[in-house]
């Protein structure tokens, strides 16, 4: 059902979802005139930039070797490239709806390739070893009287997190709102969030793991003899542990890009805290739909993060060392961001191999890949399902029309051509 209404010459979309950060605020009122977004009421400055920065993409719908091409030519070239590779890899998937993720999994299966959601594997391996005590943002909003922000700066990166969910809301359990909650922040930098803390602990750079294991020891009641640990006086760490103990419902929020060892330390700490009181933990993810990618991959294959399809054997885990990535001889980047691969350890290997890029960027670089195909802008011109960082699915609605197809439509066209060629 279309919930929009028209007032004068403007279309008004209530309860729109902002995908600019992992909060996925779903209360934004977007006002559109023609194909131009005029206002994103309720959004923070990052969200406003996301909505108002959207312009109708001009120019060709695709490029092959930097030369303009039409959609069919580009799909054909992409199908030849991927179907002809002995070890193709599908990567990216953050800026994509769940429907697009499903199409990506099916394409990877039909070309007998690998599929990888960047940055997920290390975290998943850690979580599988210690488990995860998590919740929704609504639960934190209603119950958390103690919040620890561990090495993250949500005031800057997730501007509405505190006001909507974590710190300020009043609830039946916490009628005083901010006054009923205690905020502790541990970081290595003087962040904006650290300045707002009731208890701020600036620790030494590189001491994160040491600090987490110290906290675990203190929570267990193990006596520690030292004046300072990780650049922080022992008495300050002890003060934090006292706050842990005093909490009726505690929540630890950390940067979703943390490394595997830190994730393991944080989740182990939460597991131990739950022997004494109630504690939950949640990674603060950036924008897009990386959580959805992980979920779809798990539903469809049973393997989150990275998977390799081998004909006759079904999906195989690629988690240990990602052999699919290093052995790939063709890569399909499904994301609005062609730099997605530049965070990966295997970048140099991947740079040398042919790439197909699907991008919703309004000014894509024609040379970014051998084949570049433009798609509708994620979060603005695409409808579908997206997952908030706490795992809650939300309906995303296109507030303006696009002249380009969705990621899902492009992937299905490539898969169709691959099958036709094989037949
Ligand atoms: S907090 Fe995040 S999701 Fe909410 S409006 Fe700002 S950028 Fe968008």
Interval 120-130: pLDDT, tens: 666 777 777 88
pLDDT in the model for residue 54: 78
**Residue whose CA lies nearest to ligand 1 atom number 4:** 25
pLDDT in the model for residue 343: 42
CB 35 within 8 A of CB 380: no
What is the 175 CA–ligand 1 centroid distance (Å)? Answer: 25
What is the 255 CA–ligand 1 centroid distance (Å)? Answer: 16
CB 104 within 8 A of CB 93: yes
Closest CA to 29 of 54, 56, 51: 51
What is the 28 CA–ligand 1 centroid distance (Å)? Answer: 9
Q: Which atom of ligand 1 is nearest to the CA of 160?
A: 1
CB 393 within 8 A of CB 385: yes
Q: Which atom of ligand 1 is nearest to the CA of 42?
A: 5
Q: Which atom of ligand 1 is nearest to the CA of 43?
A: 5
Topology classification of domain 134-273: Dimethylsulfoxide Reductase; domain 2 (3.40.228)
**Residue whose CA lies nearest to ligand 1 atom number 2:** 21
Closest CA to 24 of 137, 123, 124: 137
Kindly report the pTM of this predicted structure: 0.91
Q: Which atom of ligand 1 is nearest to the CA of 45?
A: 6
pLDDT in the model for residue 181: 97
If one residue of 16, 19, 23, 165 were mutated to test the ligand 1 pocket, choosing by the most ligand atoms within 8 A of its CB, it would be 23
pLDDT in the model for residue 203: 96
What is the 409 CA–ligand 1 centroid distance (Å)? Answer: 27
pLDDT in the model for residue 131: 85
Q: Which atom of ligand 1 is nearest to the CA of 40?
A: 5
What is the 21 CA–ligand 1 centroid distance (Å)? Answer: 5
Q: Which atom of ligand 1 is nearest to the CA of 159?
A: 1
pLDDT in the model for residue 172: 96
For 13-41, give the DSSP string: EEEEPP-SBTT----EEEEEETTEEEEEE
**Residue whose CA lies nearest to ligand 1 atom number 1:** 160
What is the 50 CA–ligand 1 centroid distance (Å)? Answer: 9
Ligand 1 cavity residues, CB under 6 Å: 18, 20-21, 23-25, 43-44, 46-47, 158-160
Topology classification of domain 62-120+288-422: Rossmann fold (3.40.50)
Residue 212 Cα to chain centre, angstroms: 24
Interatomic CA distance for residues 188 and 241, integer angstroms: 19
> Within a 13 Å sphere around the CA of 180, how many CA atoms are in the beta-carbon half?
19
Q: Which residue(s) pair with 332 in the sheet? A: 90, 356
What is the 25 CA–ligand 1 centroid distance (Å)? Answer: 6
If one residue of 19, 39, 159 were mutated to test the ligand 1 pocket, choosing by the most ligand atoms within 8 A of its CB, it would be 159
Taking the CB of residue 191, how many other CB atoms lie within 10 A of it? 21
Residue 107 Cα to chain centre, angstroms: 22
pLDDT in the model for residue 65: 95
What is the 23 CA–ligand 1 centroid distance (Å)? Answer: 6
Task: Please check whether the two domains, 62-120+288-422 and 134-273, share a CATH topology.
Answer: no
Q: Which atom of ligand 1 is nearest to the CA of 23?
A: 3
- 268 by DSSP, 3-state: which? helix
Per-residue CA distances from 51 to 124, 165, 235 (Å): 32, 22, 46
Per-10-residue mean pLDDT, the chain, length 423: 83 96 97 93 96 84 96 97 90 92 94 81 74 92 97 97 96 96 96 96 95 96 92 97 97 90 93 94 92 90 82 66 62 68 47 86 88 94 96 95 95 95 82
Interatomic CA distance for residues 33 and 80, integer angstroms: 41
What is the 48 CA–ligand 1 centroid distance (Å)? Answer: 8
What is the 144 CA–ligand 1 centroid distance (Å)? Answer: 21
What is the 91 CA–ligand 1 centroid distance (Å)? Answer: 25
CB 134 within 8 A of CB 368: no
**Residue whose CA lies nearest to ligand 1 atom number 7:** 47
Q: Where are the domains of the chain?
A: 5-52, 62-120+288-422, 134-273
If one residue of 17, 18, 288 were mutated to test the ligand 1 pocket, choosing by the most ligand atoms within 8 A of its CB, it would be 18
pLDDT in the model for residue 130: 86
pLDDT in tens, 297-353: 888 888 877 888 877 677 776 554 444 455 788 999 997 554 444 444 445 445 578
Interatomic CA distance for residues 130 and 37, integer angstroms: 45
């Amino acid at each position: 059902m279309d919930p929009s209404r028209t007032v004068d010459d403007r279309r008004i979309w209530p309860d729109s979802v902002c995908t600019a950060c992992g909060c996925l605020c779903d209360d934004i009122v977007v006002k559109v005139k023609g194909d131009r977004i005029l206002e994103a009421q309720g959004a923070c400055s990052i969200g406003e930039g996301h909505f108002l920065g959207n312009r109708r993409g001009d120019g060709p719908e695709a490029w092959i070797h930097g030369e303009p091409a039409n959609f069919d030519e580009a799909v054909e070239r992409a199908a030849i490239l991927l179907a002809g590779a002995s070890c193709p890899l599908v990567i990216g998937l953050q800026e994509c709806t769940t429907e697009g993720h499903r199409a990506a999994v099916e394409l990877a299966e039909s070309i007998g390739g690998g599929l990888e959601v960047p940055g997920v594997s290390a975290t998943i391996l850690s979580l599988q070893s210690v488990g995860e005590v998590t919740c929704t943002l609504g639960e934190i909003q209603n119950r958390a009287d103690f919040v620890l922000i561990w090495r993250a700066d949500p005031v800057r990166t997730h501007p509405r997190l505190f006001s909507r969910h974590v710190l300020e809301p009043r609830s039946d359990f916490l009628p005083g709102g901010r006054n009923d909650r205690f905020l502790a922040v541990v970081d290595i930098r003087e962040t904006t969030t650290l300045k707002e803390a009731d208890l701020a602990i600036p620790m030494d750079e590189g001491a994160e793991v040491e600090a987490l294991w110290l906290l675990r020891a203190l929570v267990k009641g193990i006596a520690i003899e030292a004046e300072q640990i990780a650049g922080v006086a022992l008495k300050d760490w002890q003060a934090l542990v006292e706050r842990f103990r005093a909490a009726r419902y505690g929540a630890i929020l950390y940067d979703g890009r943390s490394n595997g060892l830190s994730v393991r330390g944080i989740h182990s700490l939460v597991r131990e805290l739950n022997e004494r009181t109630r504690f939950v933990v949640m990674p603060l993810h950036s924008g897009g739909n990386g959580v959805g990618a992980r979920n779809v991959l798990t539903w469809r294959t049973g393997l989150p993060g990275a998977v390799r399809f081998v004909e006759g054997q079904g999906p195989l885990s690629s988690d240990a060392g990602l052999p699919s990535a290093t052995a790939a001889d063709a890569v399909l980047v499904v994301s609005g961001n062609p730099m997605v691969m530049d965070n990966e350890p295997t970048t140099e290997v991947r740079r040398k191999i042919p790439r197909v890029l699907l991008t919703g960027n309004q000014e894509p670089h024609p040379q970014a890949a051998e084949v570049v195909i433009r798609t509708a802008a994620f979060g603005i011109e695409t409808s579908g399902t997206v997952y908030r960082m706490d795992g809650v699915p939300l309906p995303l609605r296109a507030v303006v029309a696009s002249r380009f197809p969705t990621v899902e439509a492009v992937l299905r066209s490539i898969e169709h051509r691959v099958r036709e060629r094989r037949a």
